[in-house]
A and B are shown apart, each in its own frame.
Chain A
Amino acid sequence: MTQTTETIFSLAMPYRETLDIRRTVYTGGNGPRVAVTAGIHGDELEGLYVCHRLAAWLDELQHSNPQHLLGQVELYPALNPLGLDTLTRSVPVFDSDLNRSFPGSQQGDLPKRLAAAVMTALDGASLVVDIHASNIYLREIPQVRINSEFSDLLVPLAEQANLDLIWIHGAATVLEATIAHSLNSRNVPCLVVEMGVGMRLTPDYCEQLTVGLLHLWQELGVLAPEVVLPPLTHHPLVADDSNVHYLNAQTSGLFVPATAHWTDLRRGELLGTIVSPFHGAVLSEVRSPVDGILFTLREYPLVYEGSLMARVMARKGGAR
């Protein structure tokens, strides 16, 4: 078993410096290759910590039982290093969302070339997990988001990832220029994980996903069957376009939650209020439209009219 850190892409910047994309590769036997990508949005850090936790686990394996790595693990913790360095979601200077630049091209500007290099690097992998951390506005329960076009293949994988939710999106809402859609279109299975909140770490969620990824890798034959892993502790609920309800602010102000994230709600139950810093009155009460579970909750308190405050998933088969 070997561990190396290598550069997969390098591009000259205007004044002396270069932009490098690095990955860490753990190589054992000739078994399947798997990869984890993170930091495609510069304000999402949870995936960086998951890469660290996986690296720490693999370092330990290399020390104790190196023969148990049957395949290859590739960690790409920082696909948008300039954004991560500068607290910028997009690619600085280009002001473009790297996750709308795939599959990219050899010709063109930095985001396109970077995307093409990542696609080349990931070609042939048996599973890629792309980790996102929502944004600075919303907190998300650990979940996998799957495009219905690829759900037959991906849902069985996602069920083993120790997460709380699988959200299947209709084909009409597909974002075709994402890394996940581009990989899945080229027959490289890619799961998109969303969890936590932008610019923060949620260590419990990161541990939860780390355990799930190790189980997935064992199932795929990357890790030997005799490796003893921590038990799976979470089994996902399933959401789709029919049972997810969006709560957008009816007016502008400060959103103050009245309930905790990932709790059961009754229809009509108070979820939060919108208040004004200028007046004592409550401007708007936010109530659950259904019996369900609160899986997205606003973290950044200021809301404009229309801002998303919460998503509630009606329990399948329950009151709608």
Chain B
Amino acid sequence: MKRDLLLMTAPVRDSFDIPCHEIGPKAAHPAAAFVAGLHGDELNGTFILSRLADFLNGVEAGKHPGLKLLKKVLIIPAVNVLGINLRSRTWPFDKSDMNRMFPGNVSGETTQRIALAVLEATKKAEYRVDLHTSGVDFEELPQVRLYSPSDAQRATARHFGLPAIMERSISPVFTTTLMHAWQVWPGQSFLLRVGQGGTVQLGHCQQVFRGLVAFLGQTGILAGVSLAEGDEEISHFRQGSSKRLYAGKAGTFVSDCQVGRWVRTGQELGYIYDSFSGNVIEKVEAPANGLLTGIRRHPLLFEGDLLLRINPKS
């Protein structure tokens, strides 16, 4: 069922809403809450969650015999509705980052009011998942991000079946994010990073869609899910294990490497060309043995831009 999280007026357009899906048995609070599109250019998450809503609505309509939703699920495919429509990462009116507006404020800025509505709808869920991509310049291997997690959270993170689980500390810069606002509530919170902004990457989206269904199965929210035999390799990387390579030279970066490959120290992963002369000015080589968990996709490089991230096997 579609519900409006909040209705707001606009100066010269019609009033607008931030819609969500509520699917499954009636309950005071959802068992699982999924949020995407806090940034209007992160299309993988919005696509995945809209497809998940379609799938779960199908389950409710009896289109998937053998599957049954036992608990309520809340899905917000996009928080930054105007940003999606205008292809803007930020809230288009005042260019504010909607993931820096939490915990929100009922009488504050527009984006703080929206943030509060999102937090109120999701904070009491047992499991909360916020989907992001990288920016439009960089591609992330589909991964679960954990922030100073408990052991229980580490275990639950495996239910997504994604190739990498990466731990991070909470930076003081990010105290106004949805993830941070969730952490004070009982229950478990997860951030998924999936691919690159500005596009829908079908392979990544399918992998994460299967991951979310598996997660709902493993957590007992969706009954009847036949789970994979566990042959998917999941690598768990503790905080500080990432090896990052930054561009030593500016220019044009070209690489045909795919994220999710295991690479060896010294392996050639791409080239930097002088954008004017066309000369190769740097061969980009893997700085360590490990899993390629992220790589630069925009070809134009400023000196110092992040080229790639490798996580050694722990």
Seen from chain A, the residues whose Cβ lies within 8 Å of a Cβ on chain B are: 11-16, 19, 89-90, 93, 95, 100, 107-110, 112-113, 137, 176-177, 246, 248, 251-254, 277-278, 302-308
Contact between chains at A304 and B11 (CB < 8 Å)? yes
Cα separation A247 to B135 with both chains bound (whole Å): 34
Starting from the known contacts A248-B108, A304-B8, 7 additional A-B residue pairs (CB-CB under 8 Å) come to A14-B250, A14-B252, A14-B275, A19-B302, A109-B306, A110-B303, A304-B11
A176 to B176, CA, bound (A): 12
Minimum C-beta distance from B190 to chain A (A): 25
Q: Within the complex, what minimum Cβ distance (angstroms) separates A119 from chain B? A: 16
* A137 pairs with B249, CB closer than 8 A: no
Q: Is the CB of B9 within 8 A of A176?
A: no
Interfacial residues of chain B within 90-119, with CB under 8 A of chain A in the complex:
93-95, 107-113
Give the complex CA separation of A19 and B304 in angstroms.
Answer: 12
| Residues A15 and B10 in contact, CB atoms below 8 Å apart | no
CB distance from A273 to the nearest CB of B (A): 14
Contact of B11 with A303 in the complex, beta carbons under 8 Å: yes
Q: Which 7 A-B pairs have CB atoms at the shortest separation, nearest pair first?
A: A12-B250, A306-B110, A14-B300, A252-B9, A12-B303, A15-B275, A304-B110
Residues of A with C-beta under 8 A to B1 = none
Contact residues in A for B108 (Cβ distance below 8 Å): 246, 248, 306
Name B299's closest neighbour in chain A (CB-CB).
A14
Give the complex CA separation of A89 and B300 in angstroms.
22
Interface of A is mostly: loop
Q: How far is the CB of A160 from chain B (nearest CB, A)?
A: 31
Residues of B within 8 A of A113 (CB): 304
Q: A95-B135, A304-B8 are in contact. Are A109 and B302 (CB under 8 A)?
A: yes
For the complex formed, measure the closest distance between the CB of B181 and the CB atoms of chain A, giving whole angstroms.
14
* B11–A13 CB distance below 8 A: no
Which residues of the other chain, A, contact B93 by a CB distance below 8 angstroms? 302, 304, 307
Also in contact, A15 and B276, with CB within 8 A (given A254-B11, A304-B10, A308-B109):
yes
Kindly state the separation between the CA atoms of A88 and B187 in the bound complex, as whole angstroms: 41
Chain B interface SS verdict (over half): loop
Alpha-carbon distance between A113 and B135 when the two chains are bound, in angstroms: 19
B9 pairs with A13, CB closer than 8 A: no
What is the 8 Å Cβ interface bit string for chain B, positions 194-206, against chain A (1 contact, 0 not)? Answer: 0000000000000
| Contact across chains for B11 and A110 when beta carbons are under 8 A apart | no
Interface residues of B in 245-298 (CB under 8 A from A): 246, 249-252, 275-276
Task: Tell me the complex Cα distance, A89–B90, Å.
Answer: 13
Give every chain A residue within 8 A of B249 (Cβ-Cβ). 12
Chain A residues in 8 Å Cβ range of B94: 137, 304, 307
Q: List A contacts of B155 (CB < 8 A).
A: none
A306 adjacent to B302 (CB under 8 Å): no
Interchain CB contact under 8 A, A14 and B301 = yes
Can you name 10 A-B residue pairings with CB atoms under 8 Å? Answer: A12-B250, A13-B303, A14-B251, A100-B173, A109-B302, A251-B9, A277-B12, A302-B11, A306-B112, A306-B113
Give chain A residues whose Cβ lies under 8 Å from the Cβ of B109. Answer: 248, 306-308
A11 to B300 CA separation, bound complex (whole angstroms): 14
A20, chain B: closest CB distance, angstroms: 13
Q: CA of A277 to CA of B11 in the docked complex: distance in angstroms? A: 9
When chains A and B are docked, how far (Å) is the Cα of A3 from the Cα of B306? 38
Residue of A at shortest CB range from B89? A95
| Contact flag A93-B302 (CB < 8 Å), given A12-B249, A14-B250, A304-B11 | yes
Size of B's binding interface in residues, CB under 8 A: 34
CB distance from A258 to the nearest CB of B (A): 19
Given contacts A251-B9, A304-B8, A304-B110, whether A107 and B302 have CB atoms under 8 Å apart is no
B240 within 8 A of A: no
Check B230 for interface membership: any CB of A closer than 8 A: no
Closest chain A residue, CB of each to CB of B107 = A248
Residue numbers in A under 8 Å from B246 (CB-CB): 107-109
Which among A16, A110, A248, A253 is the interface contact of B302 at CB below 8 angstroms?
Answer: A110
How far does the alpha carbon of A113 sit from the alpha carbon of B304 in the complex, in Å?
8
Find the residue from A12, A109, A176, A304 having the highest chain B CB count within 10 A.
A304
- Within 8 Å of chain A (Cβ to Cβ): is B60? no
Q: How far is the CB of A33 from chain B (nearest CB, A)?
A: 28
Residues of A within 8 A of B250 (CB): 11-14
B172 contacts the other chain (CB 8 A): yes
Contact A177 B173 (CB under 8 A): yes
Bound-state Cα–Cα, A252 to B251, Å: 46
In whole Å, how far is A80's beta carbon from the nearest beta carbon of chain B?
A: 14
Smallest beta-carbon distance A15→chain B, Å = 4
Q: Which residues of B contact A253 (CB under 8 A)?
A: 9, 11
A307 to B93, CA, bound (A): 10
B305 interface contact, C-beta 8 A: yes
Measured CA separation A112–B135 after assembly (Å)? 17
Distance between A255 CB and nearest chain B CB, rounded to angstroms: 10
Please tell me if the beta carbons of B9 and A305 are within 8 angstroms of each other in the complex: yes
B contact residues around A16 at 8 Å (CB): 275-276
Nearest CB on A from B91, distance (A) = 9
Write the chain B residue with the least CB distance to A255.
B11
B176 to chain A, nearest CB (A): 10
Question: Is the pair B302, A305 in contact by a Cβ cutoff of 8 Å?
Answer: no
Q: Are A252 and B304 in contact (CB under 8 A)?
A: no
| Cross-chain contact B172 with A176 (CB below 8 angstroms) | yes
With a CB–CB cut-off of 8 A, which chain A residues contact B306? 108-109
B305 in complex: contacting residue of A109, A177, A277, A308, CB < 8 Å? A109
- Closest Cβ–Cβ distance, residue A293 to chain B (whole Å): 21
> Least Cβ distance of A118 to chain B in Å?
15
The CA of A246 and the CA of B109, in the complex, are separated in Å by 10
A217 to B109, CA, bound (A): 38
| In the complex, chain B residues whose CB is within 8 Å of the CB of A176 | 172-173
Of all chain A residues, which has the CB nearest B94?
Answer: A137
When distances are taken between beta carbons in the complex, the residues of chain A under 8 Å from B172 are 176-177
